[in-house]
Structure 1
Amino acid sequence: MDALETPAGEEPRETPLRGEHDALGASFTDFGGWLMPVRYSSDLAEHHAVRQAAGLFDISHMGELLVEGPGAGEFLDHALAGAISAVPIGRAKYTMILAEDGGILDDLIVYRLEDEAFLVIANAGNRETVARALTDRVAGFDATVEDQSDDYALIALQGPAAERILAAVAQLTDVLPALSGVRNYAWGSAFFEGEPLLIARTGYTGEDGFELLVPVAHAAALWRALLAAGEPHGLVPAGLAARDTLRLEAGMPLYGHELSRDIVPAQAGLGRVIPAGKTGFVGEHAPRADARVLIGLSAEGRRAGRAGYGVYRGDALVGEITSGALSPTLGHPIAMAFVDPDAAHATDLTIDIRGTRIPASVTDLPFYRRNS
């Protein structure tokens, strides 16, 4: 997920669900070059609905890139940080695409559709960057890269009631066999109004849930069908504001905040995306001695540190917050921050909140973890 804005002089794009959002009274914001719903009712109500029941998110701004061919797996092993060729059909993997020096161009999810076919999901603001990098890197491999982003919409159904809601959608066929086999970071297929539907058990909220890939022409009908089926279960439409506090509680990085071209995976605590001993991929040589590292911070009271606020140890500035909020679920301020390595386990850190120093404790990520 990203936080990049539309370039100056350009109008943000709209998703195929814009009319649905208008009908529901959504407020909008520019996000990743797209005009996206930020809320429908209140940030807190939408956040709590996802934790307690379910929320429905339009994530059609994300990019979808199809990589096919006999050499597709070998190519993606070279182009991306993960061991993609080892992913079984029906499974998915969180990974990254790196620059030559190891900086993060984007974080991705890759689904293995068939033996020689992979679906790469990229962040909206980085779609063109990812497509260009993959296209440049495919030379010499028996594989092709096709940007199919404009052909599909992506809808996220997140929360403990998500599976019950999906099973209740009357227009879905063959969904129960798909659900029975879809574990976390796996996908199954069903049909919506006769059209193929990819159902992935992935998400960006820290809850159980699904991301549904549907042809653009059927996106609005699927959105309405999900809301109707979910009404008895407490489903609400949810916007970017709730999605941001949900992902922060779950310790999930946001591109442009915890991830960027200037950050390498190990700094963000994501060195695990590169398998031990893997070589021969773009960005493998990325030593950055004494670089700042990502930590979680918790504080008391109601005043939360925000992105850009300084982190101090005594009078010394030792870091900067990348994301922060008053946690709706936990009831106290939380934040992620990059700090100097020798401050990563300190017990005397403070956050400068508009001239006032607030004590903060280093906290293991994630801040919140669901029970099941």
Structure 2
Amino acid sequence: MVDQDLRSTALEAVHESLGAMFTDFAGWRMPVRYDSDLAEHRAVRESAGLFDLSHMGEIHLRGPQSAEALDHALAGKLSAMGIGRAKYSLLLTEQGGVIDDVITYRLAEEHFLVVANASNAAVDAEELRARAAGFDVEVDDASDRTSLLAVQGPAAEQILVDLLASEDSGIAGITAEDLTSMKYYRVAEGTYRGGELLVARTGYTGEDGFELYVGDEVSVELWERLAAVGGDRLVPCGLACRDTLRLEAGMPLYGNELGRELLPSQAGLGRIVALASKGDFVGRAGIEAAEVEGLPVLVGLAAEGRRAARAGSAVRDASGSEVGAVTSGALAPTLGHPIAMAYVDPAASEVGTELVVDVRGKDLPVRVVEMPFYRRV
């Protein structure tokens, strides 16, 4: 039975026709898997996966002072970005905690696109509007009319090149050379069926890949064309494998590794905060005033066997004292052993430290390891 209170993407009927199993994610009815989590995970690592990420938020800032407004609103120095580039940044509270982690694209001298996590899209838009007050800039939340499709994996580039070369591809303004020469965290603008198309070399899987932004009205057609061109190389993928892929890649998930009560430095993201390269911004005073000594820090944990720790599992040291808690954990499909991220006391954070995690009442020996757990060659 469909929950009528959940929001749906423009691709819901496509997912249903493919036999997807659905889950409630941040108030959206999203495909969690189509067949096998492991098969979908493996497809992204070995070939390519096709994801519907239309639950994410897309917020445009346009105007003469859009760069200055974002410098004020976000922790990074967005005004230093070149056109066609992307930047990972943080939206902070006044106290320096993380409201959201976002990717910002500079599409023109006076036009930026901020992509927000689904659970925070409305909050981020409201915050950006409030923080843009006093600047000559227009904030346009396009989330309700924008679809986001991701093609992730080593075959992603060739699949998109093949799409461009196909008869009546529908794409104009972007060439095969634009794609093959595009570096990581870059974006190109064109059109699909006459509407705006953005193709960015970004992703959340640890693999090469692209994210495509189009209007909702053409998203089904684009999905179907990608699937047809991709053939056996391209597998539809749900949120379950996206989570194990990002975990293997050591990428934080908002609500697990990031939150309003956590400072960027605790998550290893202190470098994202542009304290040295720009002036005042929301959260700067809180970051500078924070007493960080002794605060828990994010680490990677690895174990043997098949049992995996889950979010909330207690972490203890050799003496049995609780020193932290797991934020994300899984049996890593690519690696074949359990991995986890956890916040632990600084004294227990050194690589090589032996710890114990409680897995359903049983002790699981783990050791602190460097992240990411997986890095593509």
Task: Please state which band the TM-score falls in when normalised by the shorter chain.
Answer: over 0.9
Select 2:340's aligned residue among 335, 340, 343.
335
SS of aligned partner of 2:130: helix
In the alignment, is the contact (CA less than 8 A) between 2:157 and 2:180 conserved in 1? no
Which amino acid in structure 1 is aligned with residue 264 of structure 2?
P
Q: In the alignment, is residue 292 of structure 1 matched against residue 296 of structure 2?
A: yes
Could you report, residue by residue, the CA deviation over 1:284-333 in whole angstroms, capped at 9, with x for unpaired residues? 12214321100000000000101000100021000000000000000000
- Give the aligned partner of residue 361 of structure 1: 367
Distance 1:158 1:319 in 2: 33
Distance 1:288 1:52 in 2: 44
Q: CA deviation at 1:243?
A: 0.2
Q: CA deviation at 1:10?
A: 7.8
Could you report, residue by residue, the CA deviation over 1:83-121 in whole angstroms, capped at 9, with x for unpaired residues? 000010000000010010011000000000100110000
SS of aligned partner of 1:352: strand
Which amino acid in structure 2 is aligned with residue 83 of structure 1?
K
Unmatched tracts of structure 1, length 5 or more: 1-8
- Give the aligned partner of residue 358 of structure 2: 352
Number of matched residues?
362
- Give the aligned partner of residue 269 of structure 1: 268
Q: In the alignment, is residue 71 of structure 1 matched against residue 76 of structure 2?
A: no
Which amino acid in structure 1 is aligned with residue 32 of structure 2?
V
Distance 1:178 1:151 in 2: 26
In the alignment, is the contact (CA less than 8 A) between 1:181 and 1:188 conserved in 2? no
Could you report, residue by residue, the CA deviation over 1:258-304 in whole angstroms, capped at 9, with x for unpaired residues? 01111111100111111241430101122143211000000000001
SS of aligned partner of 1:14: coil
- Give the aligned partner of residue 240 of structure 1: 239
SS of aligned partner of 1:131: helix
**Counterparts of residues 64-103 of structure 1 (less than 5 Å):** 64-103=58-97
Distance 2:125 2:234 in 1: 35
Distance 1:296 1:241 in 2: 20
Q: In the alignment, is residue 56 of structure 1 matched against residue 50 of structure 2?
A: yes
SS of aligned partner of 2:311: coil
Change (3 A) 1:26 1:10: closer
Distance 1:195 1:138 in 2: 28
In the alignment, is the contact (CA less than 8 A) between 1:310 and 1:352 conserved in 2? yes
Distance 2:370 2:17 in 1: 41
Distance 2:61 2:177 in 1: 27
Distance 1:78 1:191 in 2: 31
- Give the aligned partner of residue 189 of structure 1: 189
- Give the aligned partner of residue 309 of structure 2: 305
Q: CA deviation at 1:33?
A: 1.3
Which amino acid in structure 1 is aligned with residue 363 of structure 2?
R
- Give the aligned partner of residue 26 of structure 2: 32
Comparing 340-349 with 157-166, greater Cα deviation is found at 340-349
Unmatched tracts of structure 2, length 5 or more: none
Which amino acid in structure 1 is aligned with residue 345 of structure 2?
D
- Give the aligned partner of residue 180 of structure 1: 180
Q: In the alignment, is residue 126 of structure 1 matched against residue 120 of structure 2?
A: yes
Cα RMSD of the aligned pairs, angstroms, is 1.3
- Give the aligned partner of residue 158 of structure 1: 152
Comparing 135-144 with 35-44, greater Cα deviation is found at 135-144
In the alignment, is the contact (CA less than 8 A) between 2:354 and 2:368 conserved in 1? no
Which amino acid in structure 2 is aligned with residue 43 of structure 1?
D
Distance 2:9 2:161 in 1: 26
Which amino acid in structure 2 is aligned with residue 269 of structure 1?
G
Distance 1:165 1:106 in 2: 32
Distance 1:177 1:61 in 2: 30
SS of aligned partner of 2:123: helix
- Give the aligned partner of residue 252 of structure 1: 251
Displaced runs of 4+ in structure 1, greater than 4 A? none
In the alignment, is the contact (CA less than 8 A) between 1:80 and 1:96 conserved in 2? yes
Distance 2:347 2:160 in 1: 47
In the alignment, is the contact (CA less than 8 A) between 1:51 and 1:160 conserved in 2? yes
SS of aligned partner of 1:365: coil
In the alignment, is the contact (CA less than 8 A) between 1:65 and 1:146 conserved in 2? yes
Change (3 A) 1:10 1:288: farther
Distance 2:360 2:35 in 1: 29
TM-score (norm 1): 0.95
Distance 1:191 1:306 in 2: 43
Comparing 34-43 with 278-287, greater Cα deviation is found at 278-287
Q: CA deviation at 1:144?
A: 1.6
SS of aligned partner of 1:168: helix
In the alignment, is the contact (CA less than 8 A) between 1:348 and 1:359 conserved in 2? yes
Q: In the alignment, is residue 19 of structure 1 matched against residue 13 of structure 2?
A: yes
Distance 2:28 2:333 in 1: 26
Comparing 82-91 with 9-18, greater Cα deviation is found at 9-18
Q: CA deviation at 1:358?
A: 1.3
Distance 2:60 2:5 in 1: 27
Distance 1:331 1:45 in 2: 14
In the alignment, is the contact (CA less than 8 A) between 1:175 and 1:191 conserved in 2? no
